[in-house]
């Protein structure tokens, strides 16, 4: 979800004691549905809202009249079978949709990105970058006929220039994206900076000036970083700035264009924010540094004129403001929505109208607009309308001790019957749910997948095993450099539940999506006496063939090495930790599901595993035709959840904590 110069505020969890717990199982379709509101944005004048909303299983764009709530005219248009990355207003009359569509060539799935500009009245809807007719089966863009895979790379939305944006794309060489000023009215372009194959991204300062180029080289696999002078056109390498390297993360600039904001560990395990003065050629002061969690991003003022804070993710996403005066309107919202997490989506440049989602770990998102002039909130809809008023499971942060003494953080979600005192928190059927990534992380936020299992009376453990991101360099690198450690952390979390008496040792299932699916299969192989069943959705099953798939893409050799190969000692270690190579060792029931148009984990991973398995009568195999990695087709999700519901009940049985 895109965050537009705004911020996250985190408070504690709310319990809706006034909401009823229904006396029968919640239909699985309630969790399988696509969120009703994917993204939303508010016009600069605050009179209109554009939202990407679910309609009959697909997303459409709707325009709402915020100035006149009684205006019930339906203004909507379909956008086809594409993935929506974000929606935002360019000005009071035009809306920008950032889209991705997946294509298949042979067995290779690849993404194509497009930026669409749409008029408020929906009479005009066209690509921002003009396209030419297809030539030899491939779409050709712009007058120089350079094929371009991504036409949605925005460098700067230029908040002070409503008619133009800065975009990065190649001309003769699509792999050398230069910076161009693009007119939203005519699609005419003006080159600002020449591209290079060594540059993949550009960073502007608060004036909208292009100041930093970032990338890496294909052949030598070296990082690239260059900084342009504040007043001039000279680009300098990091060795001209003591304390800066090619691997330094640049977050942006302060109001003083000489002051660059960088990420630095400064002797700590976590990444913090610091100001580097380019004129003085030294780091001058700390903006923010948390001793436990890595910094996430900078926060800009509503008009984009200055940096006002930073985000980081603890148990939830949080914001620290450098200027306390920005807390005032947040406090006004807090007063009306106590104990909610406030996820800001957009706001008007003057900050008088704020669009956000409110949620808790056990309450799915609700879209609101706040009017600072009247101090009133308006509820615009629920992400999961069918379960919006049904009590969900409570989430509790936990830490357990791994076999080497390391403290592994995670979360336990328990069925409502536990909080109600109807069932004791002991000897429960459990789902172990390692996250995907693997270099990602679970937080104490509403998780539709976890809550689905909880609605069936199963408790859920989500371990942030070593390798998880945001918890410092040592925590992530310990897993990145040893995938067996990640597996062991998940296993140790399961054994901890049994030792504490929380989990019924005969009713534990390990479930995962993507890398989590890999972990679920390895758990079934290495610990058949610990788990009753294993579920792998879009899971990695054959690391060796995954390396081959990665190398089909640009920088694939580097990606394969840093993402996967560095986690194993050698070829024998890779084979030892390959579900496909050890598939015949699996003795417990397996649920295997995968979409045929998965761009992240190739569908061949499913086919290899299915063919290698010694089939059991209670195994389940599902192929979703044209399904993507996240199964964003609602029909696919409903089938997945329906069959998963039966599989879990067949293997874990009924739970005393079920409704």
Q: Is residue 281 part of a domain?
A: no
Q: What pLDDT is recorded for position 2?
A: 29
User: Residue 529 class from Cβ within 10 Å (0-12 exposed, 13-18 middle, 19+ buried)?
Assistant: exposed
Burial of 421 (0-12, 13-18, 19+ CB in 10 A): exposed
CB 244 within 8 A of CB 262: yes
Rounded CA-CA distance 485/497 in Å is 18
Q: Is residue 582 part of a domain?
A: yes
Q: What is the pLDDT of residue 571?
A: 87
Task: End-to-end CA distance of the chain: give it in Å, rounded.
Answer: 33
The single-letter DSSP state of residue 16 is: -
Peptide linkage before 339 cis (omega within 30 of 0): no
Domain residue limits at 589: 394-652
At 147 the pLDDT is 59
Is 301 within a domain?
Answer: no
How distant is the alpha carbon of residue 585 from its chain centre? 34
The verdict on residue 448 lying in a domain is: yes
The answer to whether residues 374 and 359 touch, using CB atoms and an 8 Å cutoff, is: no
Query: At 282, is the secondary structure helix, strand, or coil?
Result: strand
Question: CA 657, CA 659: separation in Å to the nearest integer?
Answer: 7
Stated as kind and residue range, the H or E segment containing 110 is strand 108-119
Tally the domains of the chain. 1
Q: What is the CATH number of the domain that holds 641?
A: 3.40.50.1820
In a domain, 282, yes or no: no
Q: What DSSP state is assigned to residue 90?
A: S
Judge whether 355 lies within some domain.
no
The DSSP result for 308-361, as a single string, is: EEEEEESSSEEEEESSGGGGHHHHHHHHHSTT-EEEEEEE-TTSSEEEEEEEET
Residues 414 and 571: their CA atoms lie apart, in Å, by 41
Contact 655, 457 (CB under 8 A): yes
**Cβ density class 605-619: b for 16+ within 10 Å, e for less:** bbebbbebbeeeeeb
Q: Assess if residue 442 is contained within a domain.
A: yes
Calpha distance 4→320 (Å, rounded): 16
Q: What is the DSSP string of 353-400?
A: EEEEEEEETTEEEEEEEEETTTTEEEEEEESSTTTTTS---EEEEEEE
In a domain, 462, yes or no: yes
| Predicted TM-score (pTM) of this structure | 0.90
**Please, what are the averages of pLDDT over each run of 10 residues along the chain (659 residues)?**
27 31 74 94 96 91 93 90 91 95 82 93 90 42 56 94 94 89 94 93 97 87 92 94 96 97 97 98 97 95 91 89 80 88 89 92 93 93 88 94 97 94 95 95 94 96 97 94 95 98 97 97 96 97 86 74 80 91 95 94 95 89 95 94 97 94
Number of Cβ within 10 Å of residue 242's Cβ equals 10
Place of tokens 């615009």: 380
């Amino acid at each position: 979800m895109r965050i537009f110069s705004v911020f996250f505020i985190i408070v504690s969890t709310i319990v809706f004691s006034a909401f009823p717990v229904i006396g029968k199982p919640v239909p699985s379709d309630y969790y399988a549905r696509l969120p009703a509101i994917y993204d939303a944005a508010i016009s600069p004048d605050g009179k209109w809202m554009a939202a990407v909303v679910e309609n009959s299983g697909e997303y459409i764009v709707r325009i709402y009249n915020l100035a006149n709530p009684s205006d019930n005219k339906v203004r909507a248009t379909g956008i086809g079978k594409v993935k929506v990355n974000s929606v935002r207003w360019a000005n009071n009359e035009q809306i920008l949709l950032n889209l991705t569509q997946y294509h298949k060539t042979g067995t290779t799935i690849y993404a194509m990105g497009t930026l669409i500009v749409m008029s408020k009245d929906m009479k005009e809807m066209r690509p921002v970058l003009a396209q030419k007719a297809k030539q030899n089966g491939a779409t050709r863009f712009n007058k120089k006929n350079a094929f371009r895979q991504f036409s949605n790379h925005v460098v700067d939305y230029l908040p002070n220039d409503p008619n133009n944006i800065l975009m990065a794309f190649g001309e003769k060489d699509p792999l050398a994206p230069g910076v161009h000023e693009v007119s939203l009215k005519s699609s005419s372009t003006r080159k600002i900076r020449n591209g290079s194959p060594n540059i993949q991204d550009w960073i502007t300062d608060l004036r909208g000036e292009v100041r930093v180029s970032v990338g890496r080289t294909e052949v030598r696999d070296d990082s690239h970083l260059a900084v342009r002078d504040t007043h001039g056109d000279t680009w300098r390498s990091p060795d001209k700035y003591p304390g800066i390297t090619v691997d330094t993360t640049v977050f942006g600039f302060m109001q003083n264009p000489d002051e660059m904001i960088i990420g630095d560990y400064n002797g700590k395990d976590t990444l913090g924010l610091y100001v580097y003065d380019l004129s003085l050629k030294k780091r001058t002061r700390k903006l923010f540094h948390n001793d436990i969690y890595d910094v996430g991003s900078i926060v800009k003022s509503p008009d984009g004129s200055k940096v006002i804070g930073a985000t980081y993710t603890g148990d939830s996403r949080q914001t620290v403001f450098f200027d306390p005066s920005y807390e005032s309107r947040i406090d006004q919202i807090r007063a009306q929505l106590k104990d909610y997490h406030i996820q800001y989506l957009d706001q008007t440049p003057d900050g008088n109208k704020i669009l956000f989602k409110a949620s808790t770990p056990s309450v799915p998102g609700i879209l609101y607009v706040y009017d600072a002039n009247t101090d009133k909130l308006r509820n615009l809809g629920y992400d999961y309308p069918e379960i919006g008023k049904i009590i969900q499971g409570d989430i509790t942060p936990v830490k357990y001790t791994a076999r080497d003494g390391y403290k592994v953080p995670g979360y336990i979600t328990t069925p409502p019957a536990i909080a109600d005192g109807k069932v004791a928190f002991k000897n429960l059927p459990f789902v172990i749910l390692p996250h995907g990534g693997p270099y990602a992380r679970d937080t104490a936020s509403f998780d539709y997948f976890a809550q689905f299992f909880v609605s069936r009376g199963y408790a859920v453990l989500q371990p942030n095993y070593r390798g998880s991101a945001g918890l410092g360099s040592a925590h992530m690198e310990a897993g990145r450099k040893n995938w067996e450690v990640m597996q062991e952390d998940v296993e140790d979390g399961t054994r901890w539940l049994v030792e504490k008496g929380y989990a019924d040792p005969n009713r534990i299932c390990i479930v995962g999506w993507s890398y989590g699916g890999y972990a679920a299969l390895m758990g079934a192989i290495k610990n058949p006496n610990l788990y009753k069943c294993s579920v792998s959705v879009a899971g990695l099953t054959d690391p060796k063939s995954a390396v081959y798939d990665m190398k089909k893409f640009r920088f694939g050799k580097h990606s394969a090495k840093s993402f996967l190969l560095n986690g194993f000692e050698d070829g024998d270690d890779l084979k030892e930790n390959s579900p496909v190579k050890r598939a015949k060792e699996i003795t417990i029931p397996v649920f295997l599901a995968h979409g045929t148009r998965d761009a992240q984990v190739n569908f061949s991973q499913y086919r290899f595993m299915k063919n290698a398995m010694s089939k059991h009568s209670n195994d389940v195999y599902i192929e979703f035709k044209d399904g993507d990695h996240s199964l964003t087709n609602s029909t696919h999700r409903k089938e997945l959840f329906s069959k998963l519901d039966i599989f879990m009940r067949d293997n874990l049985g009924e739970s005393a904590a079920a409704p």
